[in-house]
Homo-oligomer: A and B are copies of this chain.
Amino acid sequence: MTLSEKETLSQNNFPAVEKLLHNEIYEYIKQIFTPFPEKSIETQIDEIINDFSQNFLIADNANTNVEIDWVIRNFGNSKIPAQPTDFETYFQSLNENVVAHSIHTSSPQFIGHMTSALPSFVRPLAKLMTAMNQNAVKIETAKALSFCEREALAMMHRQIYNLSDNFYTQHIQNNQSTLGILVSGGTTANITALWCARNKSLGAKHEFLGIEKEGLTAALNYYGYKGAVVIGSELMHFSFDKAADLMGISTKNLIRVPVDSNNRVNIRVLRQAVADCRQQNLHIIAIVGIAGTTDSGSVDPLEEIAEIAQENNIHFHVDAAWGGPVIFSRKHQHKLAGIEKADSVTIDGHKQLYLPMGIGMVFFRDPHLASSIEKQASYTMRKGSFDLGKRALEGSRPGMALFLHAGLKLIGLNGYEFLIDEGIRKTQYMAARISAMPEFELLAEPDTNLLIYRYIPEQFRDVIANKQLTETNNQFINNFNESLQKMQRQIGRTFISRTTKKTINWDKEISVIAMRAVIANPLTTEGDIEAVLNDQIQIASGISIAY
């Protein structure tokens, strides 16, 4: 059937409504669901939206400088209109109220968060994904896509674990094997990894049916544990708090080990924590290593953590949501050495794989580990099928695998290597500039492409240089940096985020408010970095906080 035949048909055959009381709404619904009438609504909207996208993407500033209270004014209507809004009016208001006051995450001077510019092919691909509207939960709604997803995940698995050709031939399209799970984000990936680790380590044994069927309390009783814990650095992402809460083990039992001055977990203390837990008869579900902390991009000593986990027969999870793609760089991949010993690894596609928001991944060394969370349902999710939803936290989900597959093929190893190398190179450039400028203090040597530093008001530059800073001075500098970051954000020309670092000084723990730069946008130049720092200096000159 040709397109024009189809148009005629879909217009003629539209369901006959016996009593056509709602003539208008009927015509309208027909119109918006019919794929391609001449100069269709879709074509018209496509043109409007291409304009919006272009204007959005060429904007230089990080954001408009309007106040949040002003933006909020436009979103106070909780009533759904009875009649459909005409699309020109709607898209015009969407542009004025939403697009105009959205964050220019792709701006080269927006270097404060892990969201950056994307390659252009993802935009048309988003339209294709939506046109196809596959549901990856089961093979009956995602036939070829299910295998495409498995292939893309296997490619990433190979990049991390580099197992034999034979291993991949055996598992890549084997419905009993799960090399990885595509999820909506790193949080779900981390929760899934710990869920698998928990269920496997407290599984069925003799007459005990396993934690899944008998619950946490019964499992701890059966195995003779007093509680269950997860151990990692104090810089673990807050998704681990969510996981510990959700799984019922408590956030108190998320054991946070202190980091060294470079924000890497203290191995000696970690080893001691493991020994303490064992002595207290606490079950260690997993030890977590971080490859790229959210705070500062630092990478834990993964080899050493792997060793501790192996010695104690504990699941080793690596949260590489941010840093994972550093494995693409021949120059920097050594920083992640030991990741290949992890039982599970989280990587976000929407971070350093430069894919759209909504692509998290968890990978497993053992292709059968995810069986510990498998579920069935009669209407779908049949045993022995390729239904991807049976070993996953999520059910229905979109075909985001299209982006992952396209990214790996269209950017390739060399493309990703270039992106990683450039990000780290520019971060080192920024670190060097900060060290050279009297206005700033570098707070840690960057491991990867995150950088923390702070602005030092003029009157404290000497005491900083002489390491004579008092706690009161520090508090003042904190307030100053918080104001500076907020003002910079509000003005909206450039953007840097902020975080709070705990450091030991004067023999006690103090908080340092830090500026946090994330250099991932390939469009960001050295000139942009200078511009961001100069913007801060300029804004700082106008801040007066009484000392």
Contact = CB atoms under 8 A, between A and B. Distances in A.
Nearest to A113: B141
A101 interface: yes
Given A144-B100, A242-B393, A32 B250 contact: no
B84 A415 contact: yes
Interface string A397-432: 111101001101111111101110010011000000
A212 B168 CA distance: 41
Interface stretch (A155-163, A298-306, A307-315): A155-163
Contacts of A3: 54, 58
Contacts of A72: 147, 173
A14 interface: yes
Copies in the complex: 2
A17 interface: yes
Interface size class of A (residues with CB under 8 A): 35 or more
Contacts of A212: 245, 250-251
A375 interface: yes
A378 B237 CA distance: 10
A247 B248 contact: yes
Contact of A396 (B134, B186, B215): B186
B84 A357 contact: no
Interface stretch (A118-126, A255-263, A453-461): A118-126
Interface in A146-170: 147-148, 150-151, 154-155, 157-159, 168-169
A120 B45 contact: yes
Interface stretch (A91-99, A437-445, A465-473, A538-546): A91-99
B128 A49 contact: yes
A248 B249 CA distance: 8
B105 A135 contact: yes
A276 interface: no
Interface string A355-381: 011100000000000000101111111
A505 interface: no
A317 B239 CA distance: 25
Given A33-B119, A42-B123, A124-B45, A525 B13 contact: yes
A474 interface: no
A121 B250 contact: no
B245 A373 contact: yes
A45 B121 contact: yes
A195 interface: yes
Interface string A30-44: 101111100011100
Contact of A131 (B123, B250, B524): B123
Contacts of A130: 118, 122-123, 125-126, 356
B54 A35 contact: yes
A213 B252 CA distance: 5
Nearest to A128: B49
A347 interface: no
A71 interface: yes
A80 interface: yes
Interface in A1-56: 1, 3, 6, 10, 13-17, 22, 25-26, 28-30, 32-36, 40-42, 45-46, 48-50, 52-54, 56
Nearest to A17: B422
Contacts of A158: 78-80
A103 interface: yes
Contacts of A115: 133-135, 141, 396
A115 to B, nearest CB: 5
Nearest to A30: B522
Contacts of A49: 124-125, 127-128
B358 A29 contact: no
Interface stretch (A216-224, A265-273, A334-342): A216-224
Among A105, A185, A348, A376, chain B packs the most CB atoms within 10 A around the CB of A185
A481 to B, nearest CB: 13
Contacts of A145: 98, 102
A296 to B, nearest CB: 9
A525 B16 contact: yes
Nearest to A390: B238
B25 A248 contact: no
A489 interface: yes
B121 A199 contact: no
12 contacts: A14-B525, A16-B526, A22-B414, A74-B144, A75-B147, A78-B158, A80-B158, A105-B141, A136-B357, A209-B252, A211-B250, A248-B248
Given A50-B124, A216-B249, 15 more contacts: A1-B60, A25-B414, A33-B117, A33-B119, A72-B173, A75-B151, A77-B151, A80-B408, A99-B132, A101-B144, A103-B141, A115-B396, A130-B356, A217-B248, A237-B377
